[in-house]
Amino acid sequence: MHSPLNIKAQLLNDIVRLLERNARLDVADIASALGISTDEVSRLLAELEKEKYILAYRTIFDPEKIQGKPVRAVIEVKITPERGGGFDKLSRRIAAFEEVTSCFLMSGAYDLLVFLEGESLKEVALFVSEKLATLPGVISTATHFMLKTYKEQGIIFSTPVHSRLPISP
């Protein structure tokens, strides 16, 4: 027999999964998919938001179709961990920059993976050289510019073309 806590946890997980696939689902659609009332869905959504399980509802845009699209870059950052704080203090400081869209602590050859957007290549380069690389504790950076998006957050941006390569004699 399932306890009420297990059932509630499963419902919360199911709501999260549905919203991951489509953040525009309305309460009635979620209720119908889960076989529960709209009032129950509203209550569970409010709980997820209050407890900060759901932080935001976002839209994914195709950068090729947006006029004035920003320059996007990924930066590998090596940093020195701080005594008593590890990587957290400097990582949070870097994540707080307006240009930074995502920041992850990584395993491997570098410590942080930083995603950012700017209006131009020059703006991104200035961010790296004047704001990021000059921070105490930043050892090195390696910047990679995103040239084309094929897939982002599970969404494929262009239909793959299945054609055979020509055979040469």
How do the domains of the chain map onto residue ranges? 4-50, 63-147
DSSP code per residue over the chain: ---HHHHHHHHHHHHHHHHHH-TT--HHHHHHHHTS-HHHHHHHHHHHHHTTS---------GGGSTTPPEEEEEEEEEPPBTTTBTHHHHHHHHTSTTEEEEEE-SSS-SEEEEEEESSHHHHHHIIIIIITTSTTEEEEEEEE----SEETTEE-SPPP--PPPPP-
| 142 in Cβ contact with 76 (< 8 Å) | yes
Q: How high is the mean pLDDT of the chain?
A: 89
Comparing 35 with 159, the larger pLDDT belongs to 35
Phi, psi (degrees; rounded to nearest 5) at 62? -80, 110
Q: Which residue has the higher pLDDT, 99 or 162?
A: 99
Query: Would you say 16 and 53 are in contact if contact means Cβ atoms under 8 Å apart?
Result: yes
pLDDT at residue number 2 = 58
Mean predicted confidence (pLDDT) in 64-75 = 84
| pLDDT at 58 exceeding the cut of 90 | no
Predicted pLDDT at 158: 75
Domain 63-147 has CATH 3.40.50.9100: no
Whole-number pLDDT of residue 62: 78
| Contact partners, residue 91, CB within 8 Å, separation at least 6 | 79, 103, 105, 112
Tokens of 52: 């900060």
pLDDT at 8: 86
The arrangement of secondary structure in 4-50, i.e. its CATH architecture, is Orthogonal Bundle (1.10)
Handedness of CA 78, 82, 84, 88 (dihedral sign): negative
* pLDDT computed for residue 160 by the predictor: 57
One fold for 4-50 and 63-147: no
High-pLDDT (> 90) share of the chain, %: 62
Residue-wise pLDDT for 94-146, tens only, equals: 999 999 999 999 999 999 999 999 999 999 999 999 999 999 999 999 999 99
